[in-house]
Chain A
């Protein structure tokens, strides 16, 4: 599903985002990316959706070779990947329905079909009753669910969630993770970047730990810290 081979990313001012990363994630896996701020978690996500190119190495996502992918085919890649961004990236002047329907709109799905799919995914994440509200009218957890709904509306093969529990209370954070687990159980590969020690330790899923742009640990049933 995902293969990063000796991937490095150096930013314009010379700082290293990633150093010689090799990582393979299989279809259907649930993987935690853990590590301190600046360790390279978000950089990996940005590389996977071709928001930037690596300085070295190759990246394969499904059938796409990210480095060789022509510019005009980037939208095709992005339609296969659902992303829950760290800052959510919801459009504040559009309703939840309008936000969630956006990926379907850009793909030219017919309005009636799109409406059905949005209603189904909002039901799945539990915020159907808020579909006509604006993001500002929702709580942090509800907004997080809206962002997840938008990432899921295309039934992607791969879901990338960048610190989806970052600003949430523990209980809401657990709800969000349970939601992601449910999605994973239906076959979607989920990669979740997080700082949340409790969630990582309790779930006993694969953990890839990063530090200063390098993979320092990769355990099948890992924990946030080895100690």
Chain B
């Protein structure tokens, strides 16, 4: 308790240094929060695209059920198939109705007869999509094949690249924050040299002198992490309506509150580690 009081006195008496330390920490954790959101949402988006049928084959109107069943069997025999979903003309119309339920004009123009029946096929491996698409397009009963190999592939490449950039940027900022904390706490130790000498002469142990500086590092870490997180969550909340309309159809929202709480918890742990590590280095360097 008395160490915390001393820590608070240190912080109160040099507010600009404290502000600088909190500011750099908040910056670091804002970037961390931003990339955590990015990783979370991009994972969900990729998972969504992976879960929807990756190859869709539309059948000709004259296609007979036994031809379709035989094609299904041929596909299943390849061992490359994860799932095949047959959608009849009626199913397609139901889906159409659901999609255009707010647009009566579009509903009037279409009926079940003009919509094709189809196969939605998912493969075990994304690289097998071409093979399956090729096989389907060669079938006499298939009118047209649509597959989204490039979309999922490109999405994965981009998100992986951005994840790596995010991780590198976060590490660079964390190092920045650490060095600045070492300098700030070092300055404080230098300012308190006389006081430290006096308390040592009257019997203070090394740890009695060190603890307030360690707590100070933890304080800057936690406060910075909180503000960085708050700013990140605030911006995400502000951008949610735009993201919702941009990613229409992808079940991304609402983001569960537990994700935000877990993120804050993890950021606090990182902040405490950063605070302890940098203040400990400062103490070792300046308190010999």
Contact = CB atoms under 8 A, between A and B. Distances in A.
- Main SS class of interface, A: helix
B202 A106 contact: yes
B208 A106 contact: yes
B203 A72 contact: no
A105 B2 contact: yes
A75 B204 contact: yes
Interface stretch (B36-44, B126-134, B166-174, B193-201): B193-201
A78 B202 contact: yes
Nearest to A105: B2
A83 B201 contact: yes
A35 interface: no
A140 B24 CA distance: 45
B205 interface: yes
Contacts of B203: 75-76, 78-79, 103, 106-107, 154
- Main SS class of interface, B: helix
A121 to B, nearest CB: 14
Contact of A49 (B2, B195, B201): B201
Contacts of A111: 2
A1 interface: no
A208 B14 CA distance: 47
Contacts of A225: none
Interface residues of B, number: 13
Contacts, number: 39
A95 to B, nearest CB: 13
A24 interface: no
Nearest to B202: A103
Contacts of B202: 78, 83, 102-103, 106, 150
A91 interface: yes
A89 interface: yes
A112 interface: no
Contacts of A76: 203
Contact of A106 (B195, B197, B204): B204
Contact of A91 (B195, B200, B204, B205): B195
A51 interface: yes
A89 B205 contact: no
A80 to B, nearest CB: 9
B2 A89 contact: no
B192 to A, nearest CB: 10
A51 B201 contact: yes
B209 to A, nearest CB: 9
A72 B205 CA distance: 7
B172 to A, nearest CB: 38
A19 B202 CA distance: 27
Interface string A62-84: 00000000001001101100010
B199 A102 contact: yes
Interface string A182-202: 000000000000000000000
Contacts of A106: 199, 202-205, 208
Contacts of A105: 2
A127 B197 CA distance: 25
A102 B205 CA distance: 13
Contacts of A154: 203
Contacts of A78: 200-203
Nearest to A89: B198
Contacts of B199: 102, 106
A182 to B, nearest CB: 22
A107 B201 CA distance: 13
Closest 10 CB pairs of A and B: A78-B203, A106-B204, A79-B203, A75-B205, A75-B203, A103-B202, A89-B198, A106-B208, A106-B203, A105-B2
Interface of A: 49, 51, 72, 75-76, 78-79, 83, 85, 89, 91, 102-103, 105-107, 111, 150, 154
11 contacts: A72-B206, A75-B200, A76-B203, A78-B200, A78-B202, A78-B203, A89-B197, A89-B198, A91-B198, A102-B202, A150-B202
Given A150-B202, A154-B203, 20 more contacts: A51-B201, A72-B205, A72-B206, A75-B208, A76-B203, A78-B200, A78-B203, A83-B201, A85-B201, A89-B197, A91-B198, A102-B198, A102-B202, A103-B202, A103-B203, A106-B202, A106-B204, A106-B205, A106-B208, A107-B203
